[in-house]
């Protein structure tokens, strides 16, 4: 490959890394065509971009982006890059595929991840990454927490009003 081609690929990888706020490095080595196509379809449905890249070119793109050097140890063997804007989407997808295959060694396997400006290296982080909440999920939780006390007060006032009304009605109907 010519140097100009490598430079173009590195800049393309940098652009893709800039478009997405999170990425996962995975191992999909050994997948047949059918499983690779199914993985690509699943990634597309989950709004994840799946990119294959040479490790040396990917390392140079990551270095240029200022990504922590701890992730470079994961750039060995066959590496697929999963890009997304939701931090937990690829982890959930990988867990779903592993569960569906009923095999702990099923592919894709997590090598490393860059989520919320933190580097996670190793497949042991998959469960934790799947539970990380996205920005929208956190906002929804905060809104629910803020609405909860107000809803409790309103329901208490409404139930109290009907209780008082019932007591007064009973007392009014009682013969003296």
Mean per-residue pLDDT for 150-165?
A: 68
The predicted pLDDT at position 161 comes to 61
The predicted pLDDT at position 87 comes to 85
The predicted pLDDT at position 42 comes to 92
Domain ranges of the chain: 3-132, 134-176
Q: What is the overall mean pLDDT for the chain?
A: 85
pLDDT band at 50 (very low <50, low <70, confident <90, very high): very high
Asked whether the whole model's pTM tops 0.85, one would answer: no
Beta bridge partners of 26: 80, 110
pLDDT band at 69 (very low <50, low <70, confident <90, very high): confident
CATH number 3.30.70.1730 is the correct assignment for the domain at 3-132: yes
State pLDDT tens for residues 73-95: 889 888 899 999 988 899 999 99
pLDDT band at 6 (very low <50, low <70, confident <90, very high): confident
Q: 49-52 and 109-115: which strand pairing?
A: unpaired
Beta bridge partners of 120: 113
Q: Rounded to whole angstroms, how far apart are CA atoms 17 and 131?
A: 23
Q: Is the bond leading into 123 cis (omega within 30 degrees of zero)? A: no
């Amino acid at each position: 490959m010519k140097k100009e081609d490598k430079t173009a690929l590195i800049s393309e990888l940098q652009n893709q890394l800039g478009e997405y706020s999170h990425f996962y490095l995975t191992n999909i080595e050994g997948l047949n065509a059918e499983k690779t196509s199914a993985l690509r379809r699943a990634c597309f449905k989950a709004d994840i971009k799946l990119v294959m890249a040479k490790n040396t070119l990917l390392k140079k793109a990551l270095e240029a982006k200022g990504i922590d050097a701890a992730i470079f140890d994961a750039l060995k063997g066959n590496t697929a890059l999963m890009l997304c804007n939701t931090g937990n989407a690829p982890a959930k997808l990988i867990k779903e595929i592993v569960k569906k295959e009923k095999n702990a060694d099923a592919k894709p396997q997590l090598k490393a991840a860059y989520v919320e400006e933190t580097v996670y290296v190793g497949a042991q982080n998959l469960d934790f990454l799947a539970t990380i909440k996205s920005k929208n999920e956190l906002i929804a939780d905060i809104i629910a927490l803020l609405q909860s006390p107000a809803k409790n007060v309103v329901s208490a006032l409404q139930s109290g009003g009907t209780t008082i009304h019932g007591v007064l009605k009973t007392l009014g109907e009682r013969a003296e």
